[in-house]
Structure 1
Amino acid sequence: MNTSNYIIRNAFPSEFEEIGRLLIRVYSQLEGFPKENEQPNYYKMLANIGNFTNHSETELLAAVDENNTILGTVVFFNDMQYYGSGGSATQEKNAAGFRLLGVDPNARGKGIGKLLTQECIKKATENNQNQLIIHSTLAMKTAWKMYENLGFKRSEDLDFMQGELPVFGFRLKIIS
């Protein structure tokens, strides 16, 4: 797997709409994940993904190829108060988090999700955070192994229900 052809960078405001469409496509195709008519506010949030960058210390990252094609994306939060999830995660101190990781279905299996995750780990470490928090669902269970291989551990204290959907917390302790 040659991941050297991909660049992880901050998304440009001109790309926010395209990234929103990408995330809607990715999440709506997940087996067992709520559809737009079941959780319309969630999909509205995806469509307006760029709004997260209105908060300081929140970055919308994009994985692009040599043609600047967006292959994947993630939102990194250096301050958990802007994380915007249910449960207790937004109360965590000395913590960063990431949410809404998505990889274009045509680009899966190329290590892009891992590159985006590693960039979030790097940012949390550089910002002297003690931990990195993420959430996932059973529909995204294929990513769990990747997270665990990178050192994330299940943290049941971070679990919550989003409507009918159980959401599972993971935590990576950062040793600086």
Structure 2
Amino acid sequence: MLRDFRSTDAEAIVRVALAAFAEFEPHYSDWPLFTTHVAKMPELSKAGEIIVAEESGEIVGAVAYVGPQAPKPAFFDPAWPVIRMLVVDPAARGKGIGRQLTEECVRRAERDQSPVIALHTTTIMTVALPMYLRMGFVRVRDAPDILGVPYAVYAKSLA
């Protein structure tokens, strides 16, 4: 079940985010610094909408949808809505939760009458990136590296 974030969800989504990113620890040059940024996921609710996935009353995934014109990193077109920090608890993977969260972001972009939605990701995310490509996202340009890991911007046309 998907629903909108409540402030009482903050601790649970940080736990899920840290668990979701744990497998990538060897790739980042400063893992402690990276995890401080991951732990700030609830703060994305200030600029966007966080959507959580629940299963049996437990939060098993989350994503932030940052709408058109809302503040976002400079490597994105400011008019584009973006998907930020898609995370799924490793114990809940393989159930389509990431896809459902992404589809909900696409619905919100359509609600906002945007002709495109974007995200940034990296090739080390060997489950997420192929999913985005299957869903119609295409690589647009490089994004700044994050602690030694190359990232790129991907966009999906909604027109």
Aligned twin of 1:63: 53
Q: 2:19 aligns with which of 15, 25, 47?
A: 25
Identical aligned residues as a percent: 25
Aligned counterparts of 1:81 and 1:125: Cα–Cα separation in 2: 16
Paired AA for residue 25 in structure 1? A
Question: What SS class does the counterpart of residue 129 from structure 1 fall into?
Answer: coil
Deviation at 1:32, TM superposition (A): 4.5
1:160-171 correspondence to structure 2 within 5 Å:
160-171=144-155
Question: Could you list the runs of 4 or more consecutive aligned residues of structure 1 that deviate by over 4 angstroms after TM superposition?
Answer: none
Paired AA for residue 109 in structure 2? A
Aligned counterparts of 1:48 and 1:162: Cα–Cα separation in 2: 16
Deviation at 1:39, TM superposition (A): 4.4
Paired AA for residue 51 in structure 1? E
Paired AA for residue 75 in structure 2? S
Q: 1:144 aligns with which of 129, 135, 138?
A: 129
1:169/1:153 Cα in 2 relative to 1: closer, same or farther (>3 Å)?
Answer: same
Alignment TM-score, normalising by the size of structure 1 = 0.82
Structure 1 unaligned runs (5+)? 1-6
Worse overlay, 23-32 or 142-151:
23-32
1:97-116 correspondence to structure 2 within 5 Å:
97-116=82-101
Q: 1:129 aligns with which of 96, 105, 114?
A: 114
Question: What SS class does the counterpart of residue 146 from structure 1 fall into?
Answer: helix
Whether contact under 8 Å (2:71, 2:78) holds in the other structure is no
Whether contact under 8 Å (2:80, 2:116) holds in the other structure is yes
Aligned counterparts of 1:30 and 1:126: Cα–Cα separation in 2: 34
Aligned twin of 1:96: 81
Structure number with higher strand proportion: 2
Aligned counterparts of 1:32 and 1:141: Cα–Cα separation in 2: 15
Please list the CA deviations of residues 11-66 of structure 1 after superposition, one character each: whole Å capped at 9, or x if unmatched. 2111111111210111122364327xx144432232232112123xx01110112x
Structure 2 unaligned runs (5+)? none
Question: What SS class does the counterpart of residue 141 from structure 1 fall into?
Answer: coil
User: Over aligned residues, Cα RMSD in angstroms?
Assistant: 1.9
Worse overlay, 45-54 or 112-121:
45-54
